[in-house]
Amino acid sequence: MKKLFILIFSLLLILTFTSCSNYKKEKKTEPPKLEQPDQSNPPIVKDTTFMDPTKKIYAVMIDNISVARPQSGISKADIIYEALAEGGIPRLMAVFNSSYPEKVGPIRSARPYFVYIAKEMNAHYVHVGGSDEALKEIKNLGLKDYSAMFMTNPFFIDKKRSAPHNTYISLKDLSTINMYSSGTFNIPFNFSGSFRDGNTKKIVIPYNKSYVVEYRYDTTNNHYYRFVNGKPFVDREDGSQLYADNVIIQYAKHTVLDKVGRLRIDIIGKGKAEFFINKEHIKGYWQRDGINGMTKFYDENGKEIKFYPGKTWVQIVPDSTEIEVD
């Protein structure tokens, strides 16, 4: 009887030990791996925040003659203004706030109407010299001024380009230079609008026979991609094609001032405007009350336009220009 009890007790110990061993093995077993999502084509997510008035704003004059294209760093700009200069060659002023690229350019000279735009933002103005009138206005208006005529670093020469299309700047380095007190910066747009839909697929802006700007809407990325003379307008540094979420056509009176072809563009006052916010087309007007005022944009009923918080191009054109909308 005693032997039988010992035998049964031993069997119970063996069964208990086996059960515990199996339990421990189960605890150590790796959990099954979850299937990872395909990241080869991630969904497009548009920014919901745009520009910060507590950060420095740089307004940079950009060369736009054919030999200066493609330009560097301008795909990182938040706002870009385009207007004619002498000889019928448009010039750009790129506004940077969200990021400060290491290479931006080619940098070119100032013109008074661009100076007035930089003034309304209280921007740090970056250029290489300028017309006599522009330089006078920079001083009179007290702009925070950085000119390659009077300083070297962070300006530099790109040896792969020929003068005068070879001056560049590192905005990353410039942002660390504290020549001026920060002050306050102004964003001259109401970036509080939501995504809007419409049916405008193409905008054609003929500055002249030699220079035609075009925006084509891409429904995949929900952007207006920019073309010049039928070719994609790209950034030299990363090869990306520039685009807009908001396109503003600002009509203004243009007057030729001299034999060189310098212009006066009346951007103080009031004039017709057209707005393309995503695919929606809105007609209205712009208004700026004095040199110390800010440009405001309104629809035909006098209601201020609310722009989508994204890349914005302002096309300043002669008031006789006829654009094509499809």
Residue-wise pLDDT tens digits, 201-253: 999 999 999 999 999 999 999 999 999 999 999 999 999 999 999 999 999 99
Residue 22 domain-assigned (yes or no): no
Q: Which of 30-44, 136-150, 248-262, 283-297 has the lowest mean pLDDT?
A: 30-44
Q: Which of 79-83, 120-124, 178-182, 296-300 has the lowest mean pLDDT?
A: 178-182
Assess whether 145 and 241 both reside in one domain. no
Closest alpha carbon to 322 in 240, 225, 247, 249: 249
Assess whether 97 and 136 both reside in one domain. yes
In this prediction the pTM is 0.84
Residue span of the structural domain in which 83 resides: 58-174
pLDDT value of residue 258: 87
Closest alpha carbon to 56 in 93, 104, 98: 98
Assess whether 71 and 128 both reside in one domain. yes
In sequence order, what are the residues at sequence separation of 6 or more whose Cβ sits closer than 8 angstroms to the Cβ of residue 145? 124, 125, 138
Strands 124-127 and 90-96: unpaired
pLDDT value of residue 49: 54
Assess whether 161 and 237 both reside in one domain. no
Residue 32 domain-assigned (yes or no): no
Residue 5 domain-assigned (yes or no): no
Residue 98 domain-assigned (yes or no): yes
User: Which token pair is 128?
Assistant: 């290489």
Assess whether 83 and 161 both reside in one domain. yes
- Could you give the CA distance from residue 10 to residue 12 in angstroms, rounded to a whole number? 5
Assess whether 149 and 262 both reside in one domain. no
Helix, strand and coil content of the chain, in percent to the nearest 5, comes to: 20, 35, 50
Assess whether 213 and 310 both reside in one domain. yes
Domain harbouring 247, CATH code: 3.50.90.10
What average pLDDT does the segment 83-99 reach?
95
8 A C-beta contact, residue 257 and residue 263? yes
Residue 53 domain-assigned (yes or no): no
Reported as a single tens digit per residue, the pLDDT across 101-114 is: 999 999 999 999 99
pLDDT value of residue 260: 83
Residue 256 domain-assigned (yes or no): yes
- Cα–Cα separations (whole angstroms), residue 61 to 93, 159, 319: 5, 20, 23
Reported as a single tens digit per residue, the pLDDT across 133-161 is: 999 999 999 999 999 999 999 999 999 99
- Could you give the CA distance from residue 115 to residue 135 in angstroms, rounded to a whole number? 9
pLDDT value of residue 6: 41
Assess whether 241 and 321 both reside in one domain. yes
Please state the domain count of the chain: 2
Assess whether 170 and 261 both reside in one domain. no
Assess whether 206 and 315 both reside in one domain. yes
pLDDT value of residue 182: 72
Residue 49 domain-assigned (yes or no): no
Name the residue with tokens 């503003």: 248
Closest alpha carbon to 271 in 213, 205, 318, 215: 318
Query: Radius of gyration over alpha carbons of the chain, in Å?
Result: 30
3-class SS at 16? helix
Assess whether 284 and 224 both reside in one domain. yes
Residue 193 domain-assigned (yes or no): no
Name the residue with tokens 């309304």: 120
What average pLDDT does the segment 301-310 reach?
96
| Residue type at position 311 | K
